[in-house]
Each structure stands twice: as structure tokens, then as C-alpha cells.
């Protein structure tokens, strides 16, 4: 299913903007719905959604869509554990290509505001939060702050050095 998204999502977004249903749109919609359900049921969205919950605590993100905050959480989660740089680049490029945010500033968060990032991380890591359900090892608030900061620096570097290519 992720292969389907990488293959068709860019075209599907364009089709959606044209209000046209195409095979790319259908495939992307079907994959999105299926992956959302599977991710929810398996807990495989733990870090991304926990970080979303933390971001939702900030007044500045209240006008930001759920999926945009989850995208930032997904990107930050790539810095919580070892991940090949090629995979990081691929996911960042994908987000850019489909119009999802890749920088904290894109969702109205100041990446230099350590207090705000700590608030996000503490909410993401509070007892009972889903980040503790499915990660390969225990995650704590300082790790999430570091991941958010690394994600933001990485995105800035990519913005300066690479075109968006999937």
C-alpha cells in the first residue's frame, strides 16, 4: 500500500484539485483508507499521532489540519530511531510533492521555541499515550524534542539543497 501512495498520490492530489476521479485518485483513496484503518488497529501510527496530540496543545496549531500535524509527527518519528537517509529523503520529498508540511514553521510552530517543543513532547510522551505502544524502544520527551529539532533542521537543509523528487 505505501508503494501505491508513492506511485499515485501526486497525480491524485492534482486530480482532486480538478474535481476529477481517476484510477490514480481511486487507488490513493483506497490505500489511504486501508492504511488508516490498519495503522489505527495495529498501533502503527503511535509516534506520529502522539506528536500530533502534543502539537494540538499549541494555540498556534489550532487552525492546522489533523493530517498536517500527523505529517510533521511522521517526519519527526524518522529521527526517533535509526533510519536510512534515503528513506528520510523519500518521505520528505513525498510530503513536499503532495503539499504536506515539512517544517515546523509550516504549521505555525517556532522551531527555536524550546518551551513549546518541550510542551509538545511532554504531551506526546505522557503516561498512557500511544507513543508507548508500538515504538521499538521507550521514548521520552527529550527524545521527541530532539527529533522535532532534527526534523526541522533536516527539512531546512533539504529545502536549500534538493528539489522535491519522489
Kindly report, residue by residue over 41-96, the tens digit of the pLDDT: 555 568 999 999 999 999 999 999 999 999 999 999 999 989 999 999 999 999 99
Determine the structural domain holding residue 10 and report its residue range: 1-42
Contact status, residue 51 vs residue 77, Cβ threshold 8 Å: yes
Q: Are 33 and 108 found together in one domain?
A: no
pTM attached to this predicted model? 0.87
Question: How many Cβ atoms are within 10 Å of 157's Cβ, its own excluded?
Answer: 11
Say which range, 5-9, 31-35, 113-117, has the weakest mean pLDDT: 31-35
Q: Are 53 and 78 found together in one domain?
A: yes
Residue 40: is its pLDDT beyond 70? no
Please check whether residue 166 lies inside any domain of the structure: no
Rounded Cα distance, 35 and 54, in Å:
22
Amino acid at each position: 500500500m505505501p508503494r501505491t501512495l508513492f506511485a499515485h498520490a501526486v497525480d491524485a492530489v492534482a486530480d482532486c484539485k480538478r474535481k476529477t476521479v481517476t484510477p490514480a485518485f481511486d487507488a490513493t483513496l483506497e490505500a489511504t483508507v486501508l492504511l488508516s484503518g490498519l495503522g489505527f488497529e495495529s498501533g502503527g501510527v503511535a509516534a506520529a499521532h502522539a506528536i500530533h496530540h502534543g502539537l494540538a496543545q499549541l494555540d498556534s496549531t489550532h487552525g492546522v489540519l489533523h493530517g498536517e500535524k500527523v505529517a510533521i509527527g511522521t517526519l519527526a518519528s524518522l529521527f526517533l530511531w535509526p533510519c536510512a537517509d534515503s528513506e528520510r529523503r523519500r518521505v520528505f520529498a513525498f510530503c513536499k510533492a503532495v503539499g504536506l508540511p515539512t517544517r515546523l514553521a509550516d504549521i505555525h510552530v517556532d522551531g527555536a521555541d524550546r518551551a513549546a517543543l518541550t510542551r509538545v513532547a511532554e504531551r506526546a510522551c505522557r503516561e498512557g499515550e500511544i507513543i508507548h505502544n508500538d515504538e521499538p524502544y521507550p521514548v521520552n520527551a527529550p527524545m521527541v524534542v530532539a527529533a522535532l529539532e532534527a526534523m526541522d533542521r533536516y527539512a531546512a537543509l533539504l529545502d536549500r539543497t534538493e528539489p522535491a523528487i519522489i
